[in-house]
Structure 1
Amino acid sequence: MGLWFKRKSKPRRQFKVSLQFMIIILVVLAIIISLIISLLLIRNFVINKHFDNTKEKLSGIAKVIASDSDVIRNVEQGVPVKQIQDYSLRVMNNVNVDFVVILNRDLIRLSHPDATMIGKPFSDLNDARRTLSGQGHFSENIGILGSGYRYFAPIFNKQNEVIGIVCVGLTMRTLNYDLMQAQYTIFGGLMLGLFSGILGAIFLAQKIKTILFGLEPQEIAARLREKEIIEDEVAEGIIAISADKKIILMNKEAQAKYQLANQDMEAPIGEQVDTNFYNVLFKRVFDDKKKIKDRSFYVNGIEVIATITPMYIENEFFGAVATLRDQSEMIHLSNQLSGTKYYINSLRGQTHEFMNKMHVISGLIEMRQYAEVSQYIQQLNHRYQNEVGFLTERIKVPALAGFIMGKINEAREQNISVLLEESSNVSNVEMQDIVHNVIHILGNFFDNAIDSILQKKQPGRIELKLNYECEGNVFILKVKDNGMGIDFEMQKRIFEHGFSTKGEDRGYGLNLVKTMVDNHQGIIEIDSQPGLGTSIYVELPCTLEVTNE
């Protein structure tokens, strides 16, 4: 049994027509069609106009000959035919007509281009006889010279009697020749127009090709699809607005943040950006025309880190583009790591301290000072209960407790004591954004308090109160120090963006704290006296899940 193989057919090659070629063909076809239509219209107009002019010419010549006194006298007196023939031939040559025929009243030819026809009756007696009534008329008929166009004019004597007829005409051969000459001129003009149109089509196609950066339509479509896919797959949000504040670009991530910050309000491309969104992110860049890099912003309670860059086209301001990064997860991880770090630093310091204490206990035991050992251990236990035990008993959030413990050790190294009020109490809550904000606020207050005390160059004290009220779902923070205090005029500007008494690139911490508090619709109060210290009170409304651990 044999094996049969089916031969695989080759795929057909698709003929791809370039955009430039399509534009040239379409433009040329449009020009050709328009020129053909124009040619037909112009040809009909020229033909009609030519026949109208021919009628006027023939009738005018015939009437002039019929009114000539010599012609009237010669026809009426019956002079020799030769004089009338010579006159007719002279007129025919001068005015460029094919024939001038003069008839007497009996319709006998007195003149004719063919001399042999003189003395013979007219070829179409019925057509000529119509003129004997005294009215001239046009006629198109076949005569001795062939088909032609002619005009009959009566010849009147002084008594106003018809004594003869003048027939002036052109053969169709002459008429057609004149029409062809006119059409050749029209055709030449149309060919010149077609040639100019083809050159224009080529120039237009090349110009469009240049504007499209040499890309074909299918390539542009592919690039756009690739661009959309890449933009939507980027983890960062991208939003761009034009100079008139209309959205020109927004990927999926930016759309999600925009809807979250604006109560599910959609942001279609081409529509005006939300006013609050613009004021928070773009207004400063639009005003200053300067780039803002990695700055934290709050938009209706949503914290983002944004880089906003102005856009220019040919040195003209076009708008701005912002890249947005959601910092909630990063803050969550950062604060967890911060709490762990403070725990580790605290344990490291305590390990060193306890090793020293173990050496003390070991030495006392070797010296058989057992009473001293007992007393020393009781002192250590008392100190532990006063510090670590006291703290962990009241602050049950691990990251928050570790953070405070680390700050206590940091302050102690600089000869600053930290007192946690006994009324402080924070239940074990899930690590949500509100706890991250509390750590951020506390860290800023602690750092400012330590800096203020160090400026005084004497031992200092920081008092801390921290409560979470379950009924009102409110975090209450109070930090008090006995540092240098804040001047009353500075207190008015302390929350301004970039304002600081510590030099450049400072002044962002308290501004961000104020933003956090305002976004939670909280309260922040500062009571400070120069030289005596500062007290800061914050209420931060929140909604947390409380556990019983």
Structure 2
Amino acid sequence: MRVSIQTKIIVLILSLLTFITVILSGFFAYMEFRDIEDRLGDKALSTATYVAGSPVVKEAFRSPDPSERLQPYAERVRKQAGAEFVVIGNESGIRYAHPDEWKIGRHMVGGDNARALQHGESYISRAEGTLGPSLRGKTPVRNDNGDIVGIISVGFLIEDLRSTVLQRLGVLGLLTFLAIGFGTVGAIFLSRSIKNDMYGLEPYQIADLYETRQSTLKAIREGIIAIDTDGNITTINDSAADMLGLKSHVEGVPVTSILPNSVMKRVLQHGEPEFNQELSMNGKLFIVNREPIYHKNTIAGVVATFRDKTEMMEMANTLSDIKKYSDDLRSQNHEFSNKLYALAGYLHLGKNKEAVQLIEEETVNQEKQASILFHQIKDSAVQAILTGKAGRASEKKVDLQIDESSQLDPLPPHISQSHLISILGNIIDNALEAVSYQENPVVSFFVTDLGRDIVFEVSDNGPGLQADITEILEKGFTTKDGSQKRGYGLAIIQETVHGLGGMMEIENGTENGAVCSIYIPKEEGSAAKP
């Protein structure tokens, strides 16, 4: 079970707060104890010094019974000073005054009188007497000649000292409890604020989203670049880096440093998206879309997506070729339906001879074409294209002839079906269009894979080439009449052929019409030779 970020923040803050308050409380207690101890020690010593210098004490020591005068005086001083005891003894340590009168006349205990009685020192000591452990101030009593005749001991019990410290710690404990309480409330509000800033997500959820985002950016074929309000790049995917030829990370650098012609800052300024804009980069033409990024209704940056225009055109052309292939199959189906209707008509009229003749003619043609298509041409894509074009030619009343010497094994993998549709489909369509106004229109198809290259050849008996070959390859043929003008894109065919390492030749026939020859190498990466 995962612990939420809110719980982690609260526990962390409370742990730190508790740790700090405990450390500070302990330090305060120690310092307070030392401070009170020092002050009480000084008070005990000053009181003892005061008593030792009192005339009452000096006169009492000269009297026959010192205790008679010293006991009430010592009690009076003890109460005034707030001390636990004021003990007065002679030079032998025999008590003259004590809070417990029955202890008068007995030896003082604690073993800490030597410094005062023997060396004449005034000092503070810790010792355990009859009342318990205590903090004592001791000083000698001297006569008029300066001789030591007694000792004064003023003390405060250690237990009372601790009680005073604990009382003050009680106040500190209350303050600590209040601090922890306020800290808890603050931690809850802080954790909620952080959670809201993270859109209510947990860190592991943010990590999952980040990984998904990175994977998505890598999977997208379009180039993506995003910038912040300063025009610095915040995001760039692998496709964009490949298109721009970048080999190192460029996050954080100005977009104009890698795209001098970029107008993404313009979108930052006016906030209006721009779609399907052309942009030239590194000698290539791209289609670019730019949109502002908003955060709380404020522009926080701009994201641009772009794609190679040439690649987009190739895809559009491929789709167009596939559509034409579908139309060819539809035409073939339509032509076959017409023949079935004719056959049904003959049978309905009882003209069995004519019906049989139609079947025999169609059978001969189909068997001849099928023999070449399925025995000599063994590539299924080429078979399908020729079958479709045969139906289209039949509908247009054009005789599409497949050369009996044609021979083709299955094509290598680098020559795809889309390549064949683009090449063969367009060439045969051009030939069918070229002979559409001839009295006996004929289009011939030949293919062979003998040698290092695959050779496709399409010829017709049309009017032949009427324009310069360079101009034709640049612009393509276009019919000039009819409501729907169509270009047959020889330039696109040539580009596709060159992409496969091949070459194309177009020339007029020996008698009439035109001949188009395509040479494609069998091995990928090699160059074709006519």
Query: 2 CA distance for matches of 1:80 and 1:333?
Result: 124
Q: Which residue of the other structure, out of 452, 463, 466, is the alignment partner of 1:390?
A: 466
Spell out the pairing of 1:460-539 with structure 2 (5 A cutoff).
none
* 1:195 matched to 2:181: yes
Which of 304, 311, 335 aligns to 1:322? It is 304
Query: In structure 2, the residue corresponding to 1:135 is in which secondary structure?
Result: coil
User: Are 1:307 and 1:323, in contact at CA under 8 Å, matched by a contact in 2?
Assistant: yes
Q: Is 1:176 aligned to residue 176 of structure 2? A: no
Q: In the TM superposition, what whole-angstrom CA distance separates every residue of 1:290-347 from its partner, at most 9, and x where no partner exists?
A: 3211111111212111111223434544321101122212323557869999x99999
Q: Using a 3 Å threshold, how does the CA distance of structure 1 residues 395 and 273 change in structure 2: closer, same or farther?
A: closer
Shift of 1:224: 1.6
Structure 2 distance, partners of 1:295, 1:332, is 18
> Counterpart of 1:170 in 2: which secondary structure?
strand
Deviation at 1:396, TM superposition (A): 4.7
Specify every segment of 5 or more residues in structure 2 that has no aligned partner in the other structure, as ranges: 322-421, 441-461, 500-525
TM-score by length of 1: 0.59
Q: Distance in 2 between matches of 1:113 and 1:271?
A: 87
The size of the alignment, in residue pairs, is 375
Residue matched to 1:303: 285
Cα pair distance change 1:274/1:96, threshold 3 Å = same
CA change 1:311–1:130 in 2 (3 A) is same
Specify which of 264, 269, 292 is matched with residue 282 of structure 1. Answer: 264
SS at 1:27's partner residue?
helix
Q: 1:400 aligns with which of 457, 475, 487?
A: 475
- Correspondence for 1:374: none
Residues 35-92 of structure 1 deviation map (CA, whole Å, 9 limit, x = unaligned): 3322332232222222222211111111122222223223333566343212211221
1:149 aligns with 2:135: yes
Give the aligned residue type for 1:218.
Answer: Y
- What does residue 210 of structure 2 align with? 224
In structure 2, the residue matched to 1:28 is 14
Change (3 A) 1:276 1:194: closer
Letter in 2 for 1:400: K
2:44 is equivalent to residue 89 of structure 1: no
Partner of 1:55: 41
**Are 1:38 and 2:24 an aligned pair?**
yes
Query: Matched residues in 2 for 1:251 and 1:102: separation?
Result: 94
| Residue of structure 1 equivalent to 2:495 | 431
What is the aligned-residue RMSD (CA, Å)? Answer: 4.0
Matched, 1:291 2:273: yes
Contact 1:107 1:128 in 2 (8 A): no
Three-state SS of the structure 2 residue aligned to 1:431 is helix
| C-alpha distance in 2 between matches for 1:428 and 1:54 | 106
Quote the residue 1:75 is aligned against.
61
Once the two structures are TM-superposed, the CA of residue 23 in structure 1 deviates from its matched residue by: 1.8
Report the Cα offset of residue 119 of structure 1: 2.7
Matched, 1:206 2:184: no
Structure 1 counterpart SS, 2:261: helix
What secondary structure is seen at the aligned counterpart in 2 of 1:293?
Answer: strand
- Judging changes above 3 Å, is the alpha-carbon distance between structure 1 residues 326 and 124 closer, same or farther for their aligned structure 2 residues? closer
Distance 1:60 1:394 in 2: 121
The 1-side partners of 2:62 and 2:115 are apart by 18
Conserved? CA contact 1:296–1:303, under 8 Å: yes
Choose from 63, 67, 87 the match for 1:101: 87
Give CA deviations for 1:128-160 in whole Å, capped at 9, x if unaligned: 573353221233222221222212112234433
Instruction: Give the structure 2 partner of residue 252 of structure 1.
Output: 238
The 8 Å contact of residues 476 and 491 in structure 2, kept in 1 or not, is answered as no
Label 1:276 to 1:19 Cα distance change in 2 as closer, same or farther (>3 A).
closer
Q: Is the 8 A contact 1:153 1:166 kept in 2?
A: yes
Q: Which amino acid aligns with 1:35?
A: T
Q: Aligned pair in 2 of structure 1 residues 31, 350: CA closer, same or farther (>3 Å)?
A: same
Deviations 1:243-288 (A, max 9, x none): 23322112232222222xxxx4434433443525153342432454
Between the aligned partners of 1:150 and 1:427, the Cα distance in structure 2 is 114
Task: Say if 1:394 and 1:310 are closer, same or farther in 2 by CA, change over 3 A.
Answer: closer
TM (norm. structure 2) is 0.61
Percent sequence identity is 25
Q: From the superposition, tell whether residues 293 and 390 of structure 1 become closer, same or farther in structure 2 (CA, over 3 Å).
A: same
* Secondary structure at 1:238 match in 2: strand
CA distance 1:212–1:284, shift in 2 (3 Å)? closer
Question: Structure 2 vs 1, CA of residues 547 and 345 (structure 1 numbering), >3 Å: closer, same or farther?
Answer: closer
Partner of 1:531: none
Matches within 5 A, 1:367-378: none
Q: Distance in 1 between matches of 2:286 and 2:115?
A: 107
Asked whether the 8 Å contact 1:281–1:297 carries over to 2, the reply is no
What is the CA–CA distance in structure 2 between the aligned matches of 1:428 and 1:327, rounded to whole Å?
Answer: 14
SS at match of 1:307: strand
Asked if structure 2 preserves the Cα contact closer than 8 Å seen for 1:281 and 1:308, the reply is no
Q: What letter matches 2:39 in structure 1?
A: N
SS at match of 1:295: strand
SS at match of 1:57: helix
- 8 Å CA contact retained: 1:110, 1:118: yes
Q: 1:83 to 1:434 in 2, by over 3 A?
A: farther
> What amino acid is the match of 2:314?
H
CA contact (8 A) 1:306 1:322 kept: yes
> What is the aligned partner in structure 2 of residue 524 from structure 1?
none
